[in-house]
Structure 1
Amino acid sequence: MSETTELPIRRSGIAAVLVKKVDGEDRVLLLKRASRTLNGAWCYIGGGIEPGEKAWQAAKREIWEETGIDIRTLYTGNTFDQFYSPATNDIYMAPVFVGFLEDDQDVMLNREHSEFEWLRFPDAMERATLPGNDVVLAFVEKHFVKKAPVEWLRIELAGQVMGDY
Structure 2
Amino acid sequence: MEEGEKAWEFALREIEEKTGITKVSLYTSNKFDQFYSPNENYIYIAPVFVGYVDVEQHVILNYEHSEYKWLSFNEAMEQVALPGNDEVLTFIEKHFVKRIPMELLRVGK
TM-score, with length taken from structure 1: 0.62
Q: Which residue of 2 aligns with 1:60?
A: 12
Residue-by-residue CA offset, 1:52-89 (whole Å, 9 max, x unaligned)? 10111001111111111113311011101111012320
How far residue 140 of structure 1 moved from its aligned partner, in angstroms, is: 0.8
Contact 2:20 2:59 in 1 (8 A): yes
How far residue 151 of structure 1 moved from its aligned partner, in angstroms, is: 1.2
Q: How does 1:91-130 map to 2 (within 5 A)?
A: 91-130=43-82
Unpaired runs of at least 5, structure 2: none
Residue 71 and residue 130 in structure 1: after superposition, are their counterparts in 2 closer, same or farther (change >3 A)? Answer: farther
1:117 is paired with a residue whose SS is coil
Query: Between Structure 1 and Structure 2, whose CA radius of gyration is higher?
Result: 1
What is the CA–CA distance in structure 1 between the aligned matches of 2:62 and 2:84, rounded to whole Å?
A: 25
Between Structure 1 and Structure 2, how many residues are aligned? 109
Unpaired runs of at least 5, structure 1: 1-48, 158-165
How far residue 144 of structure 1 moved from its aligned partner, in angstroms, is: 0.3
What is the CA–CA distance in structure 2 between the aligned matches of 1:131 and 1:83, rounded to whole Å?
A: 9
Contact 1:63 1:71 in 2 (8 A): no
2:89 is equivalent to residue 131 of structure 1: no
How far residue 135 of structure 1 moved from its aligned partner, in angstroms, is: 1.4
- Percent of pairs identical after alignment? 61
How far residue 129 of structure 1 moved from its aligned partner, in angstroms, is: 2.1
| Larger mean Cα displacement after TM superposition, 72-81 or 127-136 | 127-136
2:95 is equivalent to residue 149 of structure 1: no
Residue 71 and residue 97 in structure 1: after superposition, are their counterparts in 2 closer, same or farther (change >3 A)? Answer: farther
Residue 90 of structure 1 is aligned with which of 33, 42, 57?
42
2:68 is paired with a residue whose SS is strand
How far residue 113 of structure 1 moved from its aligned partner, in angstroms, is: 2.4
Q: Which residue of 1 aligns with 2:26?
A: 74
TM-score, with length taken from structure 2: 0.91
